Amino acid sequence: MFKEEHKAYLDQKHDVMKINIFIDGEELTPSTGNYSERRDPGDEDRVIGLVADGSKDVGAAVDAARRAFDRDAGGWVSDYRLRARVLYKAAELLRQNLDFFAETESLFVGKTIRTSRSSDVPRAAEILEFYAGLADKILGTSQILRTGDLVAVVKQPVGVVAAITPWNFPLVIMCRQVAPALAAGCTVVTKPASLTPASAFEFAKILTKAGAPKGVFNVVTGSGETVGSSLVKSDKVDAVNFTGETSTGRWIMEQAAGSLKRVILELGGKNPNIVFEDADLERAATAVTYGAYANNGESCAAGSRLLVHSNVKQKFIEMVVERVRRMRVGYQLDEKTDLGPLVSRKQLESVLEYVGAAASEGLNIVYGGNRLTESFYARGNYMQPTVIVDTPRESKLFQEEIFGPVLTVTEFRDEDEAVELANATLYGLAAGVWSNDVGKAVRVAEKIKAGAVWVNTYYTLPVEMPWGGFKQSGLGRNNTVHAIEHYLEHKGIYVDNQQGPMRPYYRLVLG
Ligand code: NDP
């Protein structure tokens, strides 16, 4: 399966990126003086990054963000036009540096360069532009009451926001979290995932170049247990936006309760793609394959559970497997690669453990299931795309997020059973429905307990589409015009417009 041409990519030299922390408008070396090595997911023999241990710098970063907010640094809090200009400019700079960001993202995550170039980086830029356009449209309301008094509702930024991000879409998810916060006039401290911190650090430079005043955007790299946890517990942080595992989200919510800060959580997913017998099966097979294996299946949005009507099950599985067979597993920077290496050896082992569990549960692995070790594959975290059929709802593989290139298949006999199976996990992030009967598709979409339902498509997630989960997939929504509300306080200002004697109710107190 290994192609000789992959060797050329593996032999290409990459500079080792030094990923420092970024505080108060400046790149700094960490106070600990320590760096950890990040290895190439496609070639574990090679170091691609040295990542600063910022565990002793969280206080300084939060103080910088706090100061910038409280003192309205450079007019950031009060000047909405400035914020709009900076975010537009940052989007422009991101596009100008598209190749650099795409390569960095792919190199660290293991996702294919085609994905980073055509999807991740442009989407990140779009998100910035979308919220740039909102920065000067944060409107309050005002009303003259029956009494003649005035009530004005003004919206003010909530303060310092901590953004804690996962490793699978480091740039897009960070922009989804920080763009509305910045547009609202907040200041930010970001903690990127330890495995993929490069794009956040590089983005800080871009935002500064775009004109963000000092202290508005800070990045502290380091582990979740140290940097992440200090941010969540800090009294000087007003809100946390976290994307990651459900178990981490639960812990964050508990910790944030100490200072009653706002919490927005985007967590795991175990998303069903439901294919009815009257669907356009050709289109559905392509989208189901894409939904399961895009981003190496390492996606909260992965359509990792195929639910298919029993009448078309066999035919549809063959159609999917035929597409899976054509997928090229390879180095992430190779333009021809469809499935890159998994992000780390640990992640690969975890996914293979699930496949092992499938084997011991007696499930039928109809395609893949193995790590690739032939020739240069041995150097990275490569595995075959995997299809497992007849997966019952009690199975661990049906219930748990695998976060790798594994698709399970379960059949249903009617609409009710499809909905029941779709809702039979503790997650509720996304779902796909495939049918040419619009009435049925809409009925099913309505009954599915998930934050996003795609009908006759999968994975299209523009900033106009809300993103977040029902049940244990999260709390609150990112994307859309509404997300900005997470970062705004509503303040009522009541103006008494009476003249002459005080109103009767004052007499209750004053006699
Ligand atoms: P984790 O929950 O392990 O980590 C996410 C981030 O939280 C990382 O930056 C991590 O740091 C940090 N972190 C870990 N422990 C703590 C802690 N105690 N306090 C504060 N921060 C902490 O998730 P992964 O990075 O492994 O990402 C995969 C998960 O993210 C999957 O479950 C996936 O479904 C979910 N996800 C959800 C999305 C959604 O939109 N709903 C989108 C993308 C992913 P460190 O890296 O140092 O461990």
Residue 392: CB atoms within 10 A of its CB come to 12
Q: Which of 167, 194, 251, 480 has the most ligand 1 atoms within 8 A of CB, as the residue to mutate?
A: 167
pLDDT at position 462 over 90: yes
Atom of ligand 1 nearest to the CA of 266: 41
d(CA 372, CA 340): 11
161/190 Cα distance (integer angstroms): 8
251 CA distance to ligand 1 middle (Å)? 11
CA 507 to chain centre: 56
Contact (CB, 8 A) for 365 and 387: yes
Does any ligand 1 atom lie closer than 6 A to the CB of residue 291? no
Other Cβ atoms closer than 10 A to 107: 25
What is the DSSP secondary structure assignment for residue 400, as one 8-state letter? S
Q: Tell whether the model's pLDDT for residue 224 goes beyond 60.
A: yes
CA–CA dist 404, 369 (Å, integer): 11
**Residue 24 C-beta-side C-alpha neighbours within 13 Å:** 11
Flag whether pLDDT at 10 surpasses 90.
no
| CA of 192 relative to ligand 1 center, distance in Å | 9
Could you tell me the domains of the chain? 9-267+473-491 (3.40.605.10), 272-455 (3.40.309.10)
Q: Is 2 in the pocket of ligand 1 (CB under 6 A)?
A: no
Choose the residue to mutate in 168, 195, 264, 426 for probing ligand 1, maximizing ligand atoms within 8 Å of C-beta: 168
Six-digit token string for 124: 């990140």
Distance from residue 188's CA to the centre of ligand 1 (Å): 18
Whether the pLDDT of residue 1 is over 50: the answer is no
Residues 6+ positions from 451 with CB-CB distance below 8 Å: 428, 429, 430, 466, 467, 468, 469, 470, 473, 474, 477
Model pLDDT, residue 199: 97
Query: CB atoms < 10 A from the CB of 365, how many?
Result: 16
**pLDDT of 190 over the 60 cut:** yes
Within 12-76, where are the H helices? 58-70
Residue 92 pLDDT > 50, yes or no? yes
What are the structure tokens assigned to 107, written together?
């190199």
Active-site amino acid positions: 266, 300
Decide: 244 in ligand 1 pocket, CB within 6 A: yes
Q: Report CA dihedral (465, 206, 28, 177) to the nearest 10 degrees.
A: -10
Which residues neighbour 1 within 8 Å (Cβ) at sequence distance 6 or greater?
329, 372, 374, 377
At 143, the pLDDT band (50, 70, 90 cuts) reads very high
pLDDT on residue 503: 76
Helix, strand or coil for residue 108?
helix
Nearest atom of ligand 1 to the alpha carbon of 195: 46
Chain centroid to Cα 383, Å, comes to 23
CA 364 to chain CA centroid, Å, is 32
Give the residue whose CA is nearest to atom 48 of ligand 1: 224
Q: What is the mean pLDDT of residues 272-288?
A: 98
Residue 312 phi/psi, 5-degree rounding, is -115, 5
Query: Atom 34 (ligand 1): residue with closest C-alpha?
Result: 268
What stretches of 149-195 show up as alpha helix (H) in DSSP? 170-184
- Per-residue tokens: 428: 């509720």
Q: How far apart are CA 259 and CA 238, in angstroms?
A: 8
- The radius of gyration of the chain's CA atoms, rounded to the nearest angstrom, is 25
Which of the listed residues 190, 225, 245, 351 should we mutate to test ligand 1's pocket, taking the one with most ligand atoms within 8 A of CB? Answer: 245
pLDDT of residue 280: 98
The pLDDT, as a whole number, for residue 448 is: 98
- Region 314-334: mean pLDDT is 98
| DSSP output for 488-503 | EEEEEEEE----SSPP
Q: How confident is the model at residue 2 (pLDDT cuts 50, 70, 90)?
A: very low
- Tokens standing for 116? 């980073």
The answer to whether residues 507 and 172 touch, using CB atoms and an 8 Å cutoff, is no
| Alpha carbons 301 and 453: distance in angstroms, whole number | 11
- Sorting pLDDT into bands at 50, 70 and 90, what band is 499? confident
Percent of the chain with pLDDT over 90: 94
Q: What pLDDT was estimated at residue 272?
A: 98
Task: Give the residues across from 509 on adjacent strands.
Answer: none
- What's the token pair of residue 115? 């994905």
**Is the shortest distance between the CB of 193 and ligand 1 below 6 Å?**
yes
Instruction: Determine contact, residues 49/16, Cβ cutoff 8 Å.
Output: yes
Query: Considering only CA atoms, which residue is closest to atom 28 of ligand 1?
Result: 244
Q: What whole-number distance in Å separates Cα of residue 394 and Cα of residue 374?
A: 35
- Burial state string for 415-453 with b = 16 or more CB within 10 A and e = fewer than 16: beebbebbbbbebbbbbbbbbeeeeebeebbeebbbbbb
Q: pLDDT by residue (tens digit) across 107-141? A: 999 999 999 999 999 999 999 999 999 999 999 99
Mean pLDDT of 45-61: 97
Residue 228 to residue 252: CA distance in whole angstroms: 9
Pocket of ligand 1 contains residue 166 by CB under 6 Å: yes
C-beta 298 within 6 A of ligand 1: no
The mean predicted confidence, pLDDT, of the chain is 96
**Ligand 1 contact via 234 beta carbon (within 6 Å):** no
363 Cβ closer than 6 Å to some ligand 1 atom: no
